[in-house]
A and B are shown apart, each in its own frame.
Chain A
């Protein structure tokens, strides 16, 4: 039974870590994520949960899972790399945005002001991880006799209700993973963390030495994507 309860306890610990972090002033936290690639099964449930949580339209994806095959038969291997926004410490997208719509929050999250964004897509060109996508204003049921009501439901990103009407923001904007900021504000873990069937995704305050993410991110097998870019990502991978 110990094998079955251990992962559950990890989620509970993450939840406790989150509660503790939320009691701190925002500038004292540093939200971070650790993804254990050895545990990821490539089920894409995080991708789907993210789409459902953020009501993402066609063509907008915050957390694709990259399927990697290595080696030559018979010595082959396969691994999966979920790729959310890396919430870089020195974010090239924040630097590139001409109008300051992309910004860095004191808690480390890279946010985007939909009402300021002009849709120039310079931040997409600047991101080394391809973590930003453009909202072209598409609907899943556009080619059907009637647009379904669920497609017009409000997204709660950044804690603001935004019904989808086909023209106003975030249509015409660049979009990206927010670490489910609206859920964090409500004391909940990001959707990709709670939905992960392999318990491969961890989330918490990297500034808290007692948090599970801080412990995991300090392990020798923890790495970041493209370290040569010097972007100081807040997402770590256990390999």
Chain B
């Protein structure tokens, strides 16, 4: 890959380092979240990236678990995407903890009633599986790849299930507290992971054989995701639940409505579906790259619209007005430190993806597997 993208990503990392320095010098006061909106931008990216990781694993499973040969070129990099996305997502959440030095409590001091308690071990299991899978890929051990792909599908599915459950089990938050939240999370995760793989495949030589099946899969997942969004809206507007409606109205007609109409729906569904439809027929890499980018932007907007409005409705009327402090409000705006750290971590993830992709697509690196693909 040419050096310009690496240079841009390198600059992004430097910006991120400045953001990190700013964050460490100010502490959590320098972040935009409040006691009434306790999860902000970093949680949005954490949950988005973990979802992408799980989604990218679907490509690995289709190639090595089900033996779909056209998916195999992309499946050489899909585990890389899974691993890097997972790490980036986890870095976001570790930074977001009030006491990150106690992060291992999430592994060794568990409350079995909490869905979050299982995630630490699931992440560890998933990471180990991805490392083994990459090792098997490098060594060209096709039999191991099949077994690992099957095991990985189950583990990654439970990771996504756990992530979605974080939101859907909270009875205090009516906006999240339903089974559809879980389904939307799963569909969104697979949609975004496949789109990210499509983006990489469209911009990397030697992976183009997978473009058409990836674009068809991506189109299907975009439509399924959109369908689930529509059902969720339909249920909400017919439920008559004031709190749930308040959150949905905020998404559809509030000050951030552009995020839903322009990005989530306009880019993420309408434009993405049109480009994917066109791209799966023509196979144009530029069109498919754009389509994948549109899907990813729509996915991020959907995650914003999931995480934030769920917290921005008052739990008790008048509570916010009862005690005045900037950290006791329902509004949320990310600070520059938060945004810069996002830029930095995404750039770092981008660089890691490029370097690892170079390794896993270098001729001879996965000779046995490639040999079978060509045969």
What residue of chain A has the Cβ atom nearest to residue B172's Cβ?
Answer: A128
**Shortest beta-carbon distance from A62 to chain B in Å:** 10
CA distance A193 to B319 in the complex (A): 21
B-binding segment of A8-16, A32-40, A111-119, A178-186: A111-119
Instruction: Please report whether the interface of chain A is mostly helix, strand, loop or mixed according to DSSP.
Output: loop
Please state if B328 and A136 are interface contacts (CB–CB under 8 Å). no
A-binding segment of B15-23, B95-103, B130-138, B274-282: B95-103
Residues of A within 8 A of B172 (CB): 92, 125-128, 229
CA distance A132 to B327 in the complex (A): 12
Q: Kindly supply a per-residue 1/0 record for chain A positions 199-219, scoring 1 wherever the CB is within 8 Å of any chain B CB and 0 otherwise.
A: 000000000000000000000
Residues of A within 8 A of B325 (CB): 58-59, 61
Please state if B110 and A100 are interface contacts (CB–CB under 8 Å). yes
Q: Kindly supply a per-residue 1/0 record for chain B positions 165-182, scoring 1 wherever the CB is within 8 Å of any chain A CB and 0 otherwise.
A: 010001111000000000
B199-222 residues with Cβ-Cβ distance < 8 A to A are none
Q: Which of B106, B117, B170, B322 has the most CB of A within 10 A?
A: B322
Instruction: Answer whether residue B109 sits at the interface, using C-beta atoms and an 8 A cutoff.
Output: yes
Instruction: Answer whether residue B39 sits at the interface, using C-beta atoms and an 8 A cutoff.
Output: yes
Please state if A136 and B315 are interface contacts (CB–CB under 8 Å). no
Please state if B99 and A122 are interface contacts (CB–CB under 8 Å). no
Q: Kindly supply a per-residue 1/0 record for chain B positions 23-51, scoring 1 wherever the CB is within 8 Å of any chain A CB and 0 otherwise.
A: 00001110001011011000000000000
Please state if B106 and A98 are interface contacts (CB–CB under 8 Å). yes
Contact partner, B117, options A61, A99, A130, Cβ 8 Å: A99
CA distance A60 to B326 in the complex (A): 11
Please state if A133 and B99 are interface contacts (CB–CB under 8 Å). no
Please state if A95 and B316 are interface contacts (CB–CB under 8 Å). no
CA distance A129 to B38 in the complex (A): 14
CB-CB under 8 A for A92 and B98, given A97-B111, A121-B39, A125-B39: no
Contact partner, A225, options B103, B117, B316, Cβ 8 Å: B316
Residues of A within 8 A of B35 (CB): 59-60, 124, 132-134
B-binding segment of A22-30, A64-72, A150-158: A64-72
Please state if B322 and A100 are interface contacts (CB–CB under 8 Å). no
Contact partner, A67, options B97, B106, B117, B318, Cβ 8 Å: B318
Instruction: Answer whether residue B234 sits at the interface, using C-beta atoms and an 8 A cutoff.
Output: no
Q: Kindly supply a per-residue 1/0 record for chain A positions 129-168, scoring 1 wherever the CB is within 8 Å of any chain B CB and 0 otherwise.
A: 1101111111000000000000000000000000000000
Residues of A within 8 A of B109 (CB): 99-100, 116
Q: Which of B96, B103, B105, B173 has the most CB of A within 10 A?
A: B105
Instruction: Answer whether residue B113 sits at the interface, using C-beta atoms and an 8 A cutoff.
Output: yes
Residues of A within 8 A of B322 (CB): 64-67, 83
Please state if A99 and B105 are interface contacts (CB–CB under 8 Å). yes
Contact partner, A138, options B29, B93, B171, Cβ 8 Å: B29
What residue of chain A has the Cβ atom nearest to residue B307's Cβ?
Answer: A125
Instruction: Answer whether residue A47 sits at the interface, using C-beta atoms and an 8 A cutoff.
Output: yes
B105-142 residues with Cβ-Cβ distance < 8 A to A are 105-106, 109-111, 113-114, 116-117, 119-120
Instruction: Please report whether the interface of chain B is mostly helix, strand, loop or mixed according to DSSP.
Output: loop
Instruction: Answer whether residue A52 sits at the interface, using C-beta atoms and an 8 A cutoff.
Output: no
Residues of B within 8 A of A47 (CB): 323
Please state if A118 and B98 are interface contacts (CB–CB under 8 Å). yes
CB-CB under 8 A for A125 and B28, given A64-B319, A66-B322: no
Instruction: Answer whether residue A172 sits at the interface, using C-beta atoms and an 8 A cutoff.
Output: yes
Instruction: Answer whether residue A96 sits at the interface, using C-beta atoms and an 8 A cutoff.
Output: yes
Residues of B within 8 A of A138 (CB): 29, 327
Instruction: Answer whether residue B317 sits at the interface, using C-beta atoms and an 8 A cutoff.
Output: yes
What residue of chain A has the Cβ atom nearest to residue B94's Cβ?
Answer: A118
Contact partner, B38, options A59, A100, A125, A172, Cβ 8 Å: A125
Instruction: Answer whether residue B311 sits at the interface, using C-beta atoms and an 8 A cutoff.
Output: yes
Instruction: Answer whether residue A120 sits at the interface, using C-beta atoms and an 8 A cutoff.
Output: yes
CB-CB under 8 A for A95 and B114, given A136-B28, A229-B172: yes
Contact partner, A229, options B98, B116, B171, Cβ 8 Å: B171
**Shortest beta-carbon distance from A151 to chain B in Å:** 15
Please state if A98 and B28 are interface contacts (CB–CB under 8 Å). no
Instruction: Answer whether residue A234 sits at the interface, using C-beta atoms and an 8 A cutoff.
Output: no
CA distance A81 to B28 in the complex (A): 30
Please state if B116 and A96 are interface contacts (CB–CB under 8 Å). yes
CB-CB under 8 A for A83 and B319, given A127-B172, A128-B171: yes
Point out residues on B near A: beta carbons under 8 Å: 27-29, 33, 35-36, 38-39, 93, 96-100, 102-103, 105-106, 109-111, 113-114, 116-117, 119-120, 166, 170-173, 311, 314-319, 321-323, 325-328
A sample of 14 cross-chain residue pairs with beta-carbon separation below 8 angstroms, ordered by A number, consists of: A61-B328, A66-B316, A66-B322, A92-B172, A94-B113, A98-B117, A100-B111, A101-B105, A116-B105, A118-B103, A121-B38, A122-B114, A126-B172, A229-B171
Excluding A58-B325, A61-B323, 8 further A-B contacts by CB distance (< 8 Å) are A60-B35, A67-B322, A83-B322, A92-B170, A100-B110, A119-B97, A128-B172, A136-B29
- The 6 A-B pairs of least Cβ separation, nearest first, read A119-B98, A172-B98, A98-B116, A64-B322, A128-B172, A121-B38
